[in-house]
């Protein structure tokens, strides 16, 4: 990583300080862990100055400032799965978009974490179908929390599965239109841009590049946007889809557009962008049935398209779970226990999700 440049420091300190005074962003950020041939180092942005620490042999990262506590890094990225057997209970929440405080409050309200932020869901499974990145000011806090929860859940016999959505791919491929100003400032202070802040030489970058884009857990398929009916004709293979997305993760947008298969996967009909369960020209019920038959699944759970609450579509065959967390609403999470589905409300209450259908006039937010 290039040496910290004082001119950048002065500029970024002014940007972040003014924004923090306005209540827009935290004043601290980190760690950003960079791996090099001569060793690894963690970098922190602490109220306008850069602090760095060499990584010790035990791979522990001390808390220097900010909200991210001490960490022990994985020796290698944990394996991301394509298909897993059913879990005794699971929860899913999508489209966090940097709203870490609201996300944490929601998990706490439903006993998935305790008041200290530690895993308390036992053998349960938490699925995040994409879009932790962009818009909000606390993306890194959310990412590191999920990183730690993944470790804690595994030790308890449970699991955390972060799937990649369109905004993860946007940032990793250099589309920075929705990045919060906080990360622009921190990246400049570190002599990088926001894309390389999560490069393949960083800990979070390595971790994200090992993730899946689509997961089948028992009889439920999770992904960010949705599966177009054409996937039946193409012959859906979850493992093959995940391999292809991983292979393309560091391609430029120009390279993706030049490859017809990649262009389709990353286009509006691909799994991270598709909104065809919600738009005027919606997928037909028989097409959803064909998808589920091919997937050997009962339902598809998606985020990406913001609604006023978690909704059951196509008589329970599609569940939409983006309930507006990114808009600083309380948000909701989907709970599955004893074969029943529940809307987990922001205050900790729950409402059983009916298997009814929508009225065909769902609002869509792009």
For the beta carbon of residue 55, count every other beta carbon within 10 angstroms.
18
Q: What pLDDT is recorded for position 5?
A: 36
Query: Which sign does the torsion angle of CA 68, 72, 78, 83 carry?
Result: negative
Sign of CA dihedral 238, 243, 247, 250: positive
For 183, the token pair is 């990360």
**How many other β-carbons are positioned within 10 Å of the β-carbon of residue 159?**
21
- The pLDDT, as a whole number, for residue 21 is 39
* Helix (H) / strand (E) containing 144: helix 139-155
Q: For the chain, which domains are there?
A: 6-72 (no CATH), 83-164+211-352 (3.60.21.10)
Residue 21: both structure tokens together: 């005074």
pLDDT of residue 10: 43
Helix (H/G/I), strand (E/B), else coil: 260: helix
Label the pairing between strands 28-36 and 125-129.
unpaired
Distance CA 23, CA 19 (A): 6
3-state secondary structure of 75: coil
DSSP string, 111-144: TSB-TTS-B--TT-EEEEES--SSSSS-HHHHHH
CA distance 366 to 359: 20
| Whole-number pLDDT of residue 357 | 63
CB 162 within 8 A of CB 252: no
With H, G, I as helix, E, B as strand and everything else as coil, classify residue 151.
Answer: helix
SS3 (DSSP) at 182 = helix
pTM of the model: 0.92
Candidates 131, 126, 123; CA nearest to 155 is 123
pLDDT at 358: 61
Tokens encoding 171:
């940032």
Q: Please give the pLDDT value at position 151.
A: 97
Predicted local distance difference test score (pLDDT) of residue 17 = 44
pLDDT at residue 364, as a whole number: 52
Q: What pLDDT, on the 0 to 100 scale, is given for residue 24?
A: 52
311: helix, strand or coil: strand
pLDDT of residue 281: 82
Ranges of the chain whose pLDDT falls below 50: 1-23, 360, 366
Number of other residues whose CB lies within 10 A of the CB of residue 237: 13
Tokens of 256: 């993706």
């Amino acid at each position: 990583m290039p040496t910290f440049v004082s001119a950048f420091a002065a500029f970024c300190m002014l940007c972040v300080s003014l924004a923090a005074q306005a209540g827009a962003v935290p004043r601290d950020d980190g760690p950003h862990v960079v791996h090099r041939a001569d060793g690894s180092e963690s970098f922190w942005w602490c109220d306008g100055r850069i602090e760095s620490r060499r990584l010790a042999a035990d791979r522990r990262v001390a808390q220097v400032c900010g909200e991210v506590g001490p960490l022990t890094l994985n020796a290698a990225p944990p394996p991301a799965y394509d298909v897993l057997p059913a879990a005794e209970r699971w929860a899913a929440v999508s489209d966090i978009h940097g709203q870490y405080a609201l996300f944490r409050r929601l998990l706490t309200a439903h006993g998935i974490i305790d008041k200290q932020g530690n895993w308390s869901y036992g053998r349960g499974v938490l699925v995040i179908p994409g879009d932790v990145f962009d818009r909000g000011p606390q993306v890194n806090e959310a990412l590191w929390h999920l990183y730690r929860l993944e470790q804690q859940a595994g030790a308890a016999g449970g699991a955390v599965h972060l799937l990649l959505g369109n905004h993860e791919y946007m940032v990793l491929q250099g589309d920075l239109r929705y990045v919060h100003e906080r990360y622009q400032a921190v990246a400049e202070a570190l002599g990088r841009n926001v894309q390389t802040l999560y490069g393949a030489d960083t800990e979070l970058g390595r971790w994200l590049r090992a993730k899946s884009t689509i997961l089948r857990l028992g009889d439920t398929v999770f992904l960010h946007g949705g599966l177009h009916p054409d996937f039946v004709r193409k012959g859906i293979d979850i493992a093959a889809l995940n391999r292809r997305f991983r292979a393309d993760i560091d391609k430029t947008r120009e390279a993706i557009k030049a490859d017809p298969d990649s262009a389709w996967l990353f286009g509006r009909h691909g799994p991270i962008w598709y909104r065809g369960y919600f738009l005027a020209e919606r997928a037909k019920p028989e097409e959803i049935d064909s998808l589920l038959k091919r997937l050997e699944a009962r339902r598809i759970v998606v985020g990406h398209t913001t609604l006023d609450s978690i909704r059951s579509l196509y008589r329970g065959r599609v569940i939409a779970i983006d309930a507006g967390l990114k808009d600083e609403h309380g948000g909701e999470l989907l709970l599955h226990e004893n074969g029943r589905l529940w809307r987990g409300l922001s205050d900790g209450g729950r409402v059983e999700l009916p298997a009814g259908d929508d009225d065909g006039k769902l609002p869509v937010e792009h």
